[in-house]
Amino acid sequence: MTSRSSRKPDGGGRSARPLLEAFKLNKTYGTVQAVRGVDFALSENSYVTLLGPSGCGKTSILRMIGGFESVSSGALALDGNRLDETAANQRPINTVFQNYALFPHLSVLENVAFGLSYRDVAKSRIKVLAMDALKTVQMEAMADRRPRQLSGGQQQRVALARAIVNEPRLLLLDEPLSALDRRMRKDMQIELKDLQRRLGMTFLHVTHDQEEAFALSDQIIVMRDGLIEQQGTPEAIYAKPETAYVADFIGGSACISADVTGREEANVVLKSAFGTFTVPGVPTLNIGDKAVLCLRPEQVSVVQAEPEGKAILKARVVHQVYRGSDWLLECDCGDQIVQVLHRDTPPAVGDDVTLAFDTSKVWAAAADPRAGTPSETGAA
């Protein structure tokens, strides 16, 4: 893949204008509101993941950007130009479909060359460019095969080549790795990230797998029920979840309900059923707000004696899972399960233990405002 210049806007005066912007984007199917007025922006040369459980609206967003679904209300802009009124075949955007959607009646090479015949490419160049794209994904040896003669991973690569050969401004990937086995998935993650860096394209990747999102992304957009819950770098989302939902979905945190009773610079004072803790937290938390204390399994340890400068919880081990390199203990602190990573021989199930965590390392996030108020989810 060489000349990428053709599709770029005038190279010189490239401002910080985002590549793609969504304004109050809405998608309604009948009475179901799949996407509920989201705003986001994708920058050039970045790997962005739309992350969320199934039914959160992430695929609807992808399909609206691709042009396969109409936008119910709101707008999309690509390079500052209105996108949502352009037909799918006119958009400088290509998609890697979840089931790959390779044309079964065409050879691998013909599949990859398909898009080039609708672009301003000389006939003689089409085959050369298609072969180049196949080389990029190490599939040039399979050029004459039919898609059905390829394994899932190979079809995946051909689908990638078929999309990137068109040098799109934006590449959409709809759960591209979900059909592959675990090992293949890990390999493809590395290759996808590597490919994105080499091509300098923007990739927008939809997935429900947080591990995959962390492995790939420069930016993660966490979605829930048609709304964006939080967006930011993987580090920010992992270390500083804004809501209890993100803390739970991303890090598997135990979320202990608490009230904010004070602020000390960057720290917040949380009063919970297990004591009062002063911990770092979301800056927007104010006195009187409902909050949660997020405890990730690796932040909590089982201790024999009460250590200096650490907060403690009394608990009983209710479950243990052996995971090879460590054990995952589930400890009941009384109406609250806290998971603990434990490296050595673990205490037995039923043992009373003392759990300790460093208050400067844990995090306070906003309590889930939507929990317990289902009417807030709007249209039926």
| Interface contacts to other proteins, rule CB under 8 A | 66-68, 87-90, 93-95, 97, 99, 101-105, 114-115, 118-119, 146, 148-149, 162-163, 166
- Residue number with CB closer to other proteins (170 or 223): 170
Q: Which residues pair with 40 in a beta bridge?
A: 22
Longest dimension (CA), the chain: 77
Q: How many CB atoms lie within 10 A of CB 263?
A: 15
Chain-centroid distance, C-alpha 308: 38
Q: Which residues pair with 231 in a beta bridge?
A: 221
Question: Which H/E stretch holds residue 191?
Answer: helix 182-199
- Nearest distance in Å: CB 116, other proteins: 9
- Nearest distance in Å: CB 108, other proteins: 13
Burial of residue 259 (CB within 10 Å: 0-12, 13-18, 19+) is middle
- Residue number with CB closer to other proteins (113 or 315): 113
DSSP per position, 200-240: T-EEEEEES-HHHHHHH-SEEEEEETTEEEEEE-HHHHHHS
- Nearest distance in Å: CB 166, other proteins: 7
- Nearest distance in Å: CB 100, other proteins: 9
Chain-centroid distance, C-alpha 170: 17
- Residue number with CB closer to other proteins (143 or 237): 143
- Residue number with CB closer to other proteins (95 or 202): 95
- Nearest distance in Å: CB 112, other proteins: 10
- Residue number with CB closer to other proteins (163 or 315): 163
